[in-house]
Amino acid sequence: MISDLHIHSSFSDGSFKPLEIAKMAFEKNIAAISITDHDTVTGLKEAETAAKGYNLFYIKGIELSAYDIFEIHFLGYNFNQDHPLFKETLDELKNYREYRNKKTLENLKNMCGIELLESDIIKTDGECWGSMHIARALVKKGLAKSVQGAFNKYVGRHCPAYVRESRITPKQAIGMIVQSGGKAVLAHPSKIPFNKEFFEKKLAEFADLGLSGIETYYPSHTLSEINYFHLLAKKYNLFETAGSDFHGEPSRGEVLGRPHIDLDLKKILT
């Protein structure tokens, strides 16, 4: 089944509403989607309704930010969002996100001489906003030519206004997904700046914690990286997923449904 299991909507930092995403997926002959908004589930109901409206196979999803030496993201599928641990962890992430947003705006003012007010930022359908929205505001004010340019100069990693994403650990992220009945997947593994030996050591640790899958197929992955992740998936008994990480930002070169991969979804669903 042609699937895109890593998509962001306007309920976090995507540009399009779930209904618009579902329509685009239908037009691209994508059979299955998962809208995996960052650290929030406020758009789940709307996403599921939108997918059903276009007769798409829908998998409930989320993307969680964790920190262990570097930022590490985990995708969660088919969880129970009403589970106490799940709700508690999302509350923790929400509180940290509010701190991070405030600190980023302070950094822009103190380190870059840019005064950006919260009122300057166009909010999303949900309660979740962050660096992407700040980057868009910088573009709107003429302080960057593109969202990617704003990340490269101001709010991206190693830039003056950057504040790291999360305080939860991989153990917490995997735990909240698994204990709520879901499947945890390591997102875009090539973005984690570990050498191969240390990466495999970490992957083995994550598997012991309950990790079920790895996002082998991702737009920026090279063929050699795909082959490497494929071998590790076999070694640690992980299922493999594919996702575009689509936000709808032309400057980021994102295309819904790319890579175009036919997935067996049974392992995610059982």
* pLDDT for residue 154 is more than 90: yes
The one-character DSSP state at 122 is P
Average pLDDT over residues 40-51: 95
Q: How far is CA 115 from CA 91, 99, 143, 210, 214, in A?
A: 28, 17, 11, 44, 40
Average pLDDT over residues 240-252: 88
Residue 245's pLDDT is 96
Is the distance from CB of 211 to CB of 221 less than 8 angstroms?
no
Residue 127's pLDDT is 61
Residue 121's pLDDT is 82
pLDDT tens digits, residue range 5-26?
999 999 988 889 999 999 999 9
Burial annotation 146-164 (CB, 10 A radius, 16+ → b, else e): bbbbbbebbbeeeeebbbe
Average pLDDT over residues 88-99: 88
User: Whole-number mean pLDDT of the chain?
Assistant: 92
- Sorted by where each starts, the structural domains of the chain and their CATH numbers stand as 2-85+180-269 (3.20.20.140), 90-155 (1.10.150)
pTM value is 0.86
Diameter over CA atoms, the chain: 52
